[in-house]
Structures are given as structure tokens and as C-alpha cells.
Amino acid sequence: MSANLYDLLASRFPADRSRPCFLLSGGAAISYGELEAGAAHVAGRLAAEGVAPGDRVMLQAEKSPESIMIYLGVLKAGAVYVPLNSAYTPAEVADFRADAEPRVIIDDPPLWVAEARAHSLMTGSAPRASGDLASLIYTSGTTGRSKGAMLSHGALADNALALHAAWGFTPADVLLHALPIFHVHGLFVALHCALLSGAPMVWLAKFDDAQVLAGLDRATVMMGVPTFYTRLLANPGFTRRRAERLRLFVCGSAPLLPSTFAEFEARTGQRILERYGMSEAVIITTNPLAGERIAGSVGYPLPGVDLRVDEAGEIQIRGPSVFSAYWRAPEKSAESFTPDGYFRTGDVGRIDPDGRVWISGRAKDLIISGGYNVYPKEVELVLDELPGVVESAVIGCPHPDFGEGVVAVVIGQGDEAAMITETRRSLAAYKAPKRVVFVGELPRNAMGKVMKNRLRETYAGIFGGG
């Protein structure tokens, strides 16, 4: 029997295919029938262009329903979906192309799908085994080199079914979808829950205060990153009445501050459900739907997830949704797993006597700004090339809006604003430093390594946080 993820999702589409899938701003909608037909045309076009099962299809574009038709069409054709952050520069995209060697690259999904409609439909989906690759999700590496996490049909299906059950999704739900769809959160976590329910999504291209507030009047579930919730709370239009229709607010991808959790509860009477996940394993733990949700804890491991904390405090996991390896990186893959098969998450945390998981930090130096990952090394490599820079150390500092803001501590001289502008030429805007500080020397340990903890302490208040 085929384990193609497309077949699982399509088997849950509503019997009445005229039911809306995407509720667009301005009142228009795209039905499940149209989504299904779009995916069939996409699969037909891919086959006509010689895309065989296992071939990569890369997409970098602004968010649109057509991107989802392409995602589903790629699955249906048995190919591998490779979404890229829309903020990546051409130089960054060139690296991903060289690594993934996609057979097809798509940068204008509406046009690509419109043209695909001229191609024959692909009726059946390509047979796939559970372990066959469905998607390659790029996560930057601490060395500055990106790695593609290989996620199989079986891994994605298993996680989607677990979340659908854990969060109590039904066809009566309406999901507010304002997340980007090049990342596991918007693409797999949110989308799959809606599709498995045959439920509509209020489909927003991005987080826009006014559109989100209006969307809340139609939705029953919202999924977001912490920044979404701090923005909502900063808006006086976000009232208790506005949140009344919703049965569930889910949050993840970065730590949710207990103060945000408390303020949200005070404003709406509802407790945000925080969960923990990553590109390499989709969702790992979640607070309970029915039981108590505790601020600061990411809840319990999902059914089937085997989670442990080693003596150094690192969270390690094993389970059906964990990725198989990093694409074409056997050494990195081998390093990332323990000899007994647990994935080393790089997150530091603990399990309390009740079985709840708490995350206290990141073993690696990853910065999460506005829900996006920034690897300091990548920014440092760019800074170090600039005139006037002897050496740089990039850290994340508490930021009231983004959670963490990128700060560059630079040995050398220069103009702060000009340097920020310069880095934006080669880096996506979210990775560029928000502040540059010039110093005479950097604090180092006996081995000559820069002590970033020290820098984080020194500049903790740079954005007025702390």
C-alpha cells in the first residue's frame, strides 16, 4: 500500500468539495475541489517536464494558495518539495540550488499553476513508501553552511495525525493561518491540521494587525509565533470579545515569555497552548488541550516521541517524526545522532517529575528573532569582510518585539548605520544586525574562544529589555 502523504491528506478532504479551503481577504475563497484540481494539474505538469519520483522541486515565492497547490502536486508526483525563505538573497538561493540540485525551480506560483492547467491531470498519485523523502527543509548550520533536513512521507503523516488528535481538530474548525509557508510551522503543523479536518483556513499573506483582528471574527483556532501574540497584545483592538470565538491559540518556534502568557490570559481569559518543535522533527512536545497549560513549559512529548535529557542537559529525541539525515551531509548527520539513535536537538532543558518538559536555552548559539533562526556565524562571516572590521561576534539580545534582536559586537571602527545597510546586501533583512557596537577587544576564554555569554550579559539591555 502506498504511504504517499498526499493520499492521506486527500482522503480527509470534505465529501462536498465545494467547501472552502482558503478564505481570502476581500471575501473570495478557493474550494477543496479547486485545491485538488490544482494539485492534479501541477503533478501532471511535473510529470510532463520529466520530474521523476525523488527529484527535487524548489520554490521561493511570496505566500499564496498556489504554493500549496504546488506542494500537494509535488507530493502527488512523488517528488521532493524544497521551500526556501522568501527573504533569501540570490546569493543564498544559489547555494541551496547547488546543494539540492532541483529539477524544477518555481518563483511565481500563480503563473506556474495557471500554465499547469494546460497540462493533463495526474489522476493517481505516485506510490511512495513511508521512508521515502517528501520534503527537504533547510536549516542554517552553526558553521554558516545550511543543511537540508530530510523529512519522509511517514514522518510528516505521523506528526500530522498526532497533532490533529492532540489539538482536537474537527471539520467545524476554521484555522487562522498568518504564518510563512517555507518553514515547518506554517507548512506542516498548521496546514496539515486544517487539511486533515477538511476545514477552511483564513489565509493571510503575512501577519497584518488589522487583517488578523478581522480574521479572528471567523476563526476557531490560531497558530503563531510569540511575536504574533505580543503584537496582538499591543493592539487595543484585541479585546476579550475579539478572542471569544476561538477555542485554541497555539504558540511555538521560539520561547513564549511567561509575561506574555499571563497578559494574554488576563486580556482574553484564555491560556495560550505552547508547543515545541523544529525542522528536524516537526512537533516534539505540546501542552495539553484538556489539562493544565503552564507558562514556561512546552508540555509533554507527543505520543510516540521518546524524549530524554543527557547529563549535559541536552534534549535528545527518538520517534517516528524525526528526520532521517541531513541531505548529502553524512558527517553532520552522524554527529547529530547518539550511538543509540537519539537526535541531539541542541536545546538545553529538563523534564520535571510530572513529565513536563522545560527548555532553558540553546546549546548552540542560535538566535531566534521574530520566530526566524539566525546563526551568528553566518552574520559574522559577512561582517568580517567589511572595511574597518577586524573581528566580529554576533549575539542575540532580549528585544521587546522580536524576542531576540541581532547585535554585532565588532573590533574595529565604522559607522553603525552604514554597516547595517552593508550587511543587508548579502543577508536577508531578519539576519542583519539591528545594532552594531564597536569595542577594542572581545572577552575570551583560555582557549582564545570569544565568551558570548559575557557579551550577552553586557548588552542585555541594548533594546531596552533585560
Stretch (H or E) spanning 141: none
Span interacting with ligand AMP, options 251-259, 334-342, 386-394, 426-434, rule CB under 6 A: 251-259
Give least dist CB 315 to ligand AMP, A. 8
Cell matching residue 38: 490544482
Nearer to ligand AMP, 129 or 429 (CB): 429
- Nearest CA to 67 out of 52, 56, 55, 57 is that of 57
CB of residue 230 to ligand AMP, shortest distance in Å: 14
C-alpha–C-alpha distance, residues 244 and 216, integer Å? 9
Give the nearest distance from C-beta 292 to ligand AMP in angstroms: 17
Q: How far is the CB of 149 from ligand AMP (least distance, A)?
A: 8
Q: Is the CB of 187 or the CB of 419 nearer to ligand AMP?
A: 187
Amino acid (1-letter code) at residue 435: R
* Residue 253 within binding range of ligand AMP, rule CB under 6 A: yes
Report the 3 state secondary structure along 5-45: HHHHHHHCCCCCCCCEEEECCCCCEEEHHHHHHHHHHHHHH
**Whose Cβ is closer to ligand AMP: residue 265's or residue 416's?**
265
Q: Are 102 and 51 in contact (CB under 8 A)?
A: no
**Cβ distance to ligand AMP smaller for residue 430 or 438:** 430
DSSP 224-241: E-HHHHHHHHH-TT--HH
Closest to 60 (Cα-Cα) out of 141, 146, 181: 181
Nearer to ligand AMP, 277 or 412 (CB): 277
Q: Which of 271, 298, 275, 277 is nearest to 355 (CA)?
A: 298
| Min dist. Cβ of residue 285 to ligand AMP (A) | 8
Nearer to ligand AMP among residue 156 and residue 298 (C-beta)? 298
What's the angle, vertex CA 216, arms to CA 191 and CA 233, rounded to 5?
A: 105
Q: Which residues, 268 to 287, sit near ligand AMP by CB under 6 A?
A: 274, 276-279
- Give the one residue of 345, 369, 392, 423 binding ligand AMP; rule: CB under 6 A: 345
Q: What is the x/- site pattern for ligand AMP, positions 143-182, by CB under 6 A?
A: ----------------------------------------
Among 35, 150, 359, 393, binds ligand AMP (CB under 6 A): 359
DSSP code at position 429: G
Which of 215, 252, 319, 433 is close enough to bind ligand AMP by CB under 6 A? 252
Q: Which of 64, 125, 286, 373 binds ligand AMP (CB under 6 A)?
A: 373
- The region of 123-131, 247-255, 426-434, 452-460 touching ligand AMP under the rule CB under 6 A is 247-255
Q: What is the distance between the alpha carbons of residues 101 and 91, in angstroms, rounded to a whole number?
A: 15
Contact 305, 319 (CB under 8 A): yes
* Separation between Cα atoms, residue 299 and residue 275, nearest integer Å: 7
Do residues 23 and 201 lie in contact, with contact meaning Cβ atoms separated by under 8 Å? yes
Nearer to ligand AMP, 20 or 252 (CB): 252
Residues that bind ligand AMP (CB under 6 A): 139, 184, 252-255, 274, 276-279, 298, 345-347, 359, 362, 368, 373
